[in-house]
Amino acid sequence: MKILAFNASPRKSKGTTDVLMEAFIDGAKKSNADVDKHHIVDLDINGCLSCFTCWWKTPGVCVHRDDMDWIIPKISEADILLFGTPIYGRNITHYMQRMVERTFPLSLPEMFATKDGQTSHPSRERKIPRLVLAATCGFPDLNNFDIVKALYPTALPILLPASQMLSNDEGKEYLSDFLDAIRLTGQKMVEGDEIPESLKNKLIVEYSDEMKSTVIKTHNLYSASRME
Ligand SMILES: Cc1cc2nc3c(=O)[nH]c(=O)nc-3n(C[C@H](O)[C@H](O)[C@H](O)COP(=O)(O)O)c2cc1C
């Protein structure tokens, strides 16, 4: 089973999004997954020019010659596409958005009405990888992920608010069940198992009001200590 993973945080392996991604990968490797992970900031990805060349002049091939040349065929080969993104301005980062826009060559120009009353383009490829989306944010409230959830309704969400919790041992301990749930999910997905609702629920961290107050206090103390 092939996993293609992209981290859209500029903090790369030093960030918190990567901790979630690595937990998934850790579990997946227990089931012998073939994992190929990249940090988007290290890649050369130009912005889409909206020239539609990939639809009508050279079907499936973009005018840009950059890292998307190898990424597009790899997406078609992957069984699982794992995206990790921090929330910036309540949305995915522009690093991820740029890459997503450049997957346009994977769609065909035709429009069709979907079963749920929407309109879409068919995929150029027969195989579509399962999408797993790991996202982190700084505020303790889950509504920071509303846009991401609306953007990718078919993705399996792994969501961590107040991700700064991962920067100390106490927070890591508090989140150990969450990290274990991510590992188990990675392992199960590679084994082809359905992910039960009980496990899916553990992939989304929700804090009590008391915990949210603690997050706010801790943040403000830390922030004040950093002022120069
Ligand atoms: C430019 C910028 C915008 C951000 N916007 C939000 C936001 O809208 N909501 C939120 O909860 N956190 C926001 N954050 C905090 C990040 O989502 C959070 O620190 C994230 O976990 C960082 O991920 P990383 O450690 O993988 O880089 C923002 C951070 C930056 C730098």
- Say if ligand 1 is within 6 A of residue 147 CB: no
Q: Using CA positions, which residue lies closest to atom 15 of ligand 1?
A: 138
pLDDT the model gives residue 31 = 97
Atom of ligand 1 minimally distant from the CA of 91: 8
Q: Which of the residues in the chain have pLDDT under 70?
A: none
Backbone dihedral angles phi then psi of residue 9, each to the nearest 5 degrees: -100, 135
pLDDT digits (tens, 9 = 90+) for 139-178: 999 999 999 999 999 999 999 999 999 999 999 999 999 9
The ligand 1 atom at the shortest distance from the C-alpha of residue 160 is 21
For 17-38, how does the pLDDT look when each residue is reduced to its tens digit (9 = 90+)? 999 999 999 999 999 999 999 9
Domain ranges of the chain: 2-227
Q: What is the dihedral of CA 190, 194, 199, 202, to 10 degrees?
A: 70
Report pLDDT for 228. 84
pLDDT at 126: 85
Rounded Cα distance between 59 and 73, Å, is 14
The predicted pLDDT at position 151 comes to: 96
**Is 0.95 surpassed by the pTM of this model?**
yes
By the 10 Å C-beta count (0-12 exposed, 13-18 middle, 19+ buried), 58 is classed as exposed
For the chain, give the longest Cα–Cα distance: 58
Closest approach atom of ligand 1 to CA 14: 25
The residue nearest atom 28 of ligand 1, judged by CA position, is 88
For residue 14 the two structure tokens come to: 């030093």
Q: Looking at domain 2-227, does it have CATH number 3.40.50.360?
A: yes
**C-beta 86 within 6 A of ligand 1:** yes
